């Protein structure tokens, strides 16, 4: 590796339309603005690194995304049952949808999203430079997005991405050019930026801060960072103003604040209150009728969700039986239990894992692929079951008014 005290091969006055040079007290930083689905950006990342020959190269990737790019067959190793058991079903769905979105973009542009990052890392290895994975862990970013959105908004968001995946609408050239200026995470969620400003802040501003701090605290300079063009202005400003960033704060997972969270606690509280009120006011017969209304409403909607997902008959039965109990326990969801049962009965096959990203692009694929089916069960039972709990409130309350 080059001596840290000197770098005779670097060009401190290097200039390029897509490269911004920033002089920090500790050394020079070159920000290479890339388009994530552009062949030109792949070549640019390598050419800048070979020209500058920096001691460090930072890329807009976290460890998980780097491993995913280097091992595109990783889906074959996925343990769906364990993911559902650990309550990570929604994160698994989010990551799969984004991966499928990336693959769709790559097929359109004939450039694999992230190729310029891999090229930058490869060029860094060739010259012996230290590689910095500067982006925040994708799981943390998705968790923070999910927490800011809440359950209902997240469902709307993921539904929009699914519709985009399965739609046969032809992508226009101007859409491709627009996507070239955004990173894949932001492009997938861009249309919700104004409706959900917290999402845009989590995806763009927070990651700008995170990556800038990773660069600012690097140990070896000159440093070249390969980063999406949409992040360059924010990172450059933070570096120039020498703004220190608290990484721990950006890695913290906030408590979800949403109408879905409120309903999860409010509905069972109201139901229990009404049933107890009816029991004390009118006796056991009224209390039993109210409880029956609750059971019918929650069980029927949970079963409907499982049927819509074409779940296994045993999954439908389990969803029906557990719904009344999970509906009064905000820490449990019938969709998690139903999905776990479905994944256990219909364990994903090698072919399901091999073709999951392609199958997510068609309606038939969602029902054919066992992994997709499990995720459908998770979503349908939870969402429709939540509606059932809301419907049950007036059904029960009518006995006490």
Distance of CA 294 to the CA centre of its chain: 34
Separation CA 123–CA 229 (nearest Å): 20
Query: What number is the average pLDDT over the span 318-328?
Result: 87
Q: What is the pTM of this model?
A: 0.68
Query: What number is the average pLDDT over the span 361-390?
Result: 86
In the chain, % of residues over pLDDT 90: 29
Query: What number is the average pLDDT over the span 240-263?
Result: 77
DSSP one-letter code for 219: S
Separation CA 79–CA 374 (nearest Å): 12
Look at residue 4 in the predicted model and tell me its pLDDT. 41
In the chain, % of residues over pLDDT 70: 71
Task: Compute the mean pLDDT over every residue in the chain, rounded to the nearest whole number.
Answer: 78
pLDDT band at 8 (very low <50, low <70, confident <90, very high): very low
pLDDT at 164 over 70: no
Between vectors from CA 181 to CA 127 and to CA 21, what angle results, nearest 5°? 45
Look at residue 172 in the predicted model and tell me its pLDDT. 54
183-195 CB burial, b ≥16 within 10 A, e <16:
bbbbbbbbebeee
pLDDT band at 216 (very low <50, low <70, confident <90, very high): very high
Look at residue 3 in the predicted model and tell me its pLDDT. 44
For residues 53 and 202, the model is more confident at 53
Between vectors from CA 192 to CA 146 and to CA 232, what angle results, nearest 5°? 90
Query: What number is the average pLDDT over the span 241-255?
Result: 86
H/E stretch holding 131: strand 130-133
Pick the closest to residue 387 from 301, 303, 291, 282 (CA basis).
301
Look at residue 157 in the predicted model and tell me its pLDDT. 64
Query: What number is the average pLDDT over the span 25-46?
Result: 86
DSSP one-letter code for 2: -
Query: What number is the average pLDDT over the span 275-293?
Result: 79
Q: Tokens for 188?
A: 């997938």
Poorest-pLDDT segment among 8-22, 177-191, 259-273: 177-191
CA-CA distances (angstroms) from residue 196 to 7, 183, 203, 223, 340?
A: 46, 18, 11, 35, 31
The stretches of 8-137 forming alpha helices (DSSP H) are 39-52, 63-70, 80-85, 89-109, 115-127
Query: What number is the average pLDDT over the span 239-255?
Result: 87
Look at residue 163 in the predicted model and tell me its pLDDT. 63
Poorest-pLDDT segment among 88-92, 230-234, 285-289: 88-92
pLDDT band at 256 (very low <50, low <70, confident <90, very high): low
pLDDT at 24 over 90: yes
Look at residue 1 in the predicted model and tell me its pLDDT. 41
Query: What number is the average pLDDT over the span 228-253?
Result: 90
Separation CA 83–CA 372 (nearest Å): 13
Separation CA 68–CA 74 (nearest Å): 7
Given the DSSP bridges, would you call strands 27-34 and 19-24 parallel, antiparallel or unpaired? Answer: antiparallel
pLDDT at 56 over 90: yes
Query: What number is the average pLDDT over the span 46-68?
Result: 92
Separation CA 301–CA 386 (nearest Å): 8
At 61-72, the pLDDT tens digits run 999 888 878 876
Q: Residue written as tokens 């780097």?
A: 66
For residues 28 and 92, the model is more confident at 28
pLDDT band at 162 (very low <50, low <70, confident <90, very high): low
For residues 364 and 109, the model is more confident at 364
359-385 CB burial, b ≥16 within 10 A, e <16:
bbbeeebbeebbbbbbbbbbbbbbbbb
pLDDT band at 121 (very low <50, low <70, confident <90, very high): very high
- Cross-strand bridge partners of residue 226: 32, 59
Look at residue 7 in the predicted model and tell me its pLDDT. 47
Calculate the CA dihedral of residues 241, 217, 29, 220 and round it to 10 degrees.
150
């Amino acid at each position: 590796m080059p001596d840290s005290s000197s770098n005779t091969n670097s060009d401190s006055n290097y200039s390029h339309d897509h490269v911004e040079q920033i002089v920090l007290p500790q050394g020079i930083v070159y920000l290479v603005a890339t388009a994530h689905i552009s062949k030109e950006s792949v070549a640019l990342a390598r050419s800048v690194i070979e020209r500058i020959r920096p001691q460090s190269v930072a890329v807009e990737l976290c460890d998980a995304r780097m491993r995913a790019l280097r091992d595109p067959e990783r889906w074959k190793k996925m343990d769906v049952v364990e993911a559902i058991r650990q309550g990570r079903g929604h994160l698994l769905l989010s990551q799969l949808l984004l991966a499928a979105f990336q693959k769709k973009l790559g097929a359109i542009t004939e450039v694999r999203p992230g190729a310029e990052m891999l090229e930058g890392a490869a060029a860094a290895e060739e010259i012996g430079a230290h590689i910095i994975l500067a982006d925040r862990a994708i799981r943390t970013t998705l968790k923070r997005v999910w927490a800011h959105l809440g359950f209902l908004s997240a469902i709307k968001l993921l539904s929009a991405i699914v519709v985009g995946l399965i739609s046969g609408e032809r992508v226009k050239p101007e859409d491709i050019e627009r996507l070239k200026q955004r990173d894949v995470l932001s492009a997938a969620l861009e249309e919700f930026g104004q409706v959900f400003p917290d999402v845009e802040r989590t995806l763009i501003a927070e990651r700008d801060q995170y990556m800038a701090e990773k660069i600012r605290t690097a140990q070896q300079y000159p440093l070249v960072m390969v980063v999406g063009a949409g992040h360059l202005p924010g990172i450059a400003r933070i570096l120039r103003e020498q703004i220190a960033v608290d990484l721990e704060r950006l890695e913290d997972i906030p408590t979800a604040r949403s109408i879905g969270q409120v309903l999860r606690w409010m509905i069972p509280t109201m139901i229990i209150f009404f049933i107890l009120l009816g029991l004390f006011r009118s006796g056991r017969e009224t209390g039993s009728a109210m409880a029956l209304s609750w059971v019918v409403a929650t069980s029927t909607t949970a079963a409907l969700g499982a049927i819509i997902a074409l779940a296994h008959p045993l999954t439908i039965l389990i969803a029906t039986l557990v719904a009344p109990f999970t509906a009064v326990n905000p820490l449990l969801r019938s969709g998690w239990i139903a999905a776990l049962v479905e994944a256990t009965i219909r364990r994903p096959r090698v072919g399901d894992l091999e073709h999951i990203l392609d199958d997510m692009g068609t309606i038939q694929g969602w029902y054919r692929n066992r992994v997709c089916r499990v995720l459908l069960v998770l979503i349908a039972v939870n969402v429709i079951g939540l509606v059932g709990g809301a419907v049950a409130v007036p059904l029960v309350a009518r006995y006490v008014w």
